[in-house]
Structure 1
Amino acid sequence: MRIVFMGTPAPAAKALERLLSSGHDVAAVYTQPDRPSGRGNKVTASPVKEFALSRGIRVLQPRSVTTAEALDDFRSIGAEVSVVVAYGRILPTTFLEAPKYGAINVHYSLLPKYRGAAPVNWAIVNGETTTGVTTMKMDAGLDTGDILIQEDTEIREDETAIELMSRLSEIGADVLVRTLTELGSIVPIVQDDTKATYAPLMKKSDGFINWTLPASDIVNRVRGFQPFPSSFSFLRGMRLTLWKAEAIRGESSGAPGEILSVGADEWLVQCGAGTMLKIIEAQQEGKRRMAAADIINGVRPKVGEMFGASPND
């Protein structure tokens, strides 16, 4: 089957690699234009582009997919199906309907739950214990197409969004190959819109730690908001990002955000509902991530000090 692949980040590159290793004919790859990234703002190709070029596959990077010229270029490839994995653009229906078998999307949730751009992050933030991968037949809506295959997986108790995304990219690559292999016999399932939930792109402001939340909710945010926007607060006007934390059982009566205790290698902060948070790994602004003991030596937190939501608190 002649395929056009459309994707941009590392999980999409994993799916492309699996398609090729399973013997599928990928005629061309669409990916986002090269963009500045990193501290030096060096113009960088996407992981999908780098992988496709290493395999000698034609790469297209249109700045728009809404022009007649872009559609003509797409149709000229003569693909029987297009595969879309985190491409990063909304495709017009003319693109979706051009191939004989339409467009198949890999989505990293069990649709109709967590439609949108950040399903992995919000599943962890919301305390879900199960998630998965869905392949679907794309339509004009936002992740509303008919379901082809789904595979679920447990979300591990201490798993971060980065770690879960790595596992789901492997699962998704396998599910994609199965979908293409079984495409002629799969009976699509219409999504139940009444059960839909949404996973919008995260904003920087989502990362501000609300210390009135229970400690378990804050831990979920620390895990789920990685790598962006991360979970952070301010102490003496200094930004401190939490990368690993633990909810501690027991009751205490401090004010939310108050430092309750400081030991040689741990410190506890008061959260909402009488709960406590143990800081395990953190990062001062402009410095590397460190274990709690190293952070304590640098920051020297004091019992009774308060974390705030801004540098001025």
Structure 2
Amino acid sequence: MRIAFAGTPEFAATILSGLADTDMNITCVITQPDRKTGRGQKRLASPVKITAEALGLKTWQPETLNTVSAQEKLQSLALDFLVVAAYGLILPNPILNTPKQSCINVHASLLPRWRGAAPIERSILAGDTETGICIMRMEEGLDTGPVYARATCPIGPRTTTEQLEGTLAKIGIPLLLDTLAHADSWLPSKQSNEGVSYAKKIGREDARIDWTGQAQRIALQVRALAHRMPPTAVLADTRMLLLAAEPHEEIKTGAPQGSIIKSDKTGIYVACNASTLRITKLRLNKGKGGLLSPQQA
């Protein structure tokens, strides 16, 4: 079985490692180009590229798959399957039609809920208590293809995006392998037209803290975004990045929203709308500011 794999973040790297543990012939690993990041604007390779190189697999980093040359290159691989997991670029129809069997996507939600770019973050931001993995056949629509297999996964009250990514990837590996083994005989199920929602890409607006909101809402922001885009807030005239926080209901106060009620070894307590947020980990937004405990902040 000849396979190419397309993915970019850590979630996809875990899936790739699972594929590589089998006897499948992974002919090529496609991932996004190295990107400039941070204040130094250093170019960093994606987790998938790093994993592929460690496994001795060939990598390919096209800027786009919309060119004739890119499509001809993929056709030359004579693929049975193209496996996609959080690749991050749109696959045009000529690419979708290239494999002899199909393009299969490992999607981190229970479709049709959270179609799109950021299903894990959006599920946490929405306060969902359950999510899952779907193995689907790709088509031109955004995550609209029929589903071969699915598995559910609970979202705990303190589960973060980083934790959920790892859990879902591990759940997805055996589902994917089973699907690849039976894809010629399994009939995928059409997605329901009910319960459709879209997980748009995370932006800076999602990371802005509004102290006039409920502490529960802010805690969801921190759980969902701290891993890659920590929510920012101004406390005591200092801009901070919130890395861990939870609602705290014991303190009842009429303090102004956004003011620090108290700070001790258990956390920094901030007044919100009829509620209190306890911050347990933060970083000063100054250059490469280190992690601070509540006592140090």
Give TM-score scaled by structure 1 length.
0.88
Q: Determine the structure 2 residue equivalent to 1:111.
A: 111
SS in 1 for 2:194: helix
Q: CA deviation at 1:141?
A: 0.9
Contact 2:6 2:84 in 1 (8 A): yes
Q: Determine the structure 1 residue equivalent to 2:277.
A: 277
Rg larger for: 1
Distance in structure 2 (CA, Å) of the matches to 1:195 and 1:54? 40
Distance in structure 1 (CA, Å) of the matches to 2:213 and 2:13? 38
Q: Deviations over 1:31-60 (max 9, x none)?
A: 112233344333333222233233333322
SS in 1 for 2:26: strand
Aligned-residue sequence identity (percent) comes to 35
Q: Determine the structure 1 residue equivalent to 2:17.
A: 17
Q: Deviations over 1:272-298 (max 9, x none)?
A: 1x2111222222122212221121xxx
**Residues 151 and 49 of structure 1: CA distance in aligned 2, closer, same or farther (over 3 Å):** same
Moved over 4 A (4+): none
Query: Does 1:226 find its partner at 2:234?
Result: no
Q: Determine the structure 2 residue equivalent to 1:294.
A: 296
**Residues 261 and 134 of structure 1: CA distance in aligned 2, closer, same or farther (over 3 Å):** same
Aligned residues: 294
**Residues 3 and 262 of structure 1: CA distance in aligned 2, closer, same or farther (over 3 Å):** closer
SS in 2 for 1:292: coil
Q: CA deviation at 1:129?
A: 1.0
Letter in 2 for 1:244: A
Contact 1:268 1:279 in 2 (8 A): yes
Letter in 1 for 2:259: E
SS in 2 for 1:293: coil
Q: CA deviation at 1:153?
A: 0.8
Query: Does 1:137 find its partner at 2:137?
Result: yes
Letter in 2 for 1:294: Q
Distance in structure 2 (CA, Å) of the matches to 1:234 and 1:147? 45
Distance in structure 2 (CA, Å) of the matches to 1:10 and 1:159? 17
**Residues 279 and 105 of structure 1: CA distance in aligned 2, closer, same or farther (over 3 Å):** same
Distance in structure 2 (CA, Å) of the matches to 1:16 and 1:72? 24
Distance in structure 1 (CA, Å) of the matches to 2:110 and 2:121? 14
Q: CA deviation at 1:216?
A: 1.3
Query: Does 1:179 find its partner at 2:179?
Result: yes
**Residues 54 and 265 of structure 1: CA distance in aligned 2, closer, same or farther (over 3 Å):** closer
Distance in structure 1 (CA, Å) of the matches to 2:72 and 2:264? 66
Q: Deviations over 1:177-208 (max 9, x none)?
A: 12112212322111123311111111112211
**Residues 219 and 93 of structure 1: CA distance in aligned 2, closer, same or farther (over 3 Å):** same
Q: Determine the structure 2 residue equivalent to 1:253.
A: 254
Q: Determine the structure 2 residue equivalent to 1:306.
A: none
Give TM-score scaled by structure 2 length.
0.93
**Residues 187 and 218 of structure 1: CA distance in aligned 2, closer, same or farther (over 3 Å):** same
Contact 1:206 1:229 in 2 (8 A): no
Q: Which consecutive residues of structure 2, in runs of 5 or more, have no partner in the other structure?
A: none
Distance in structure 1 (CA, Å) of the matches to 2:67 and 2:225? 36
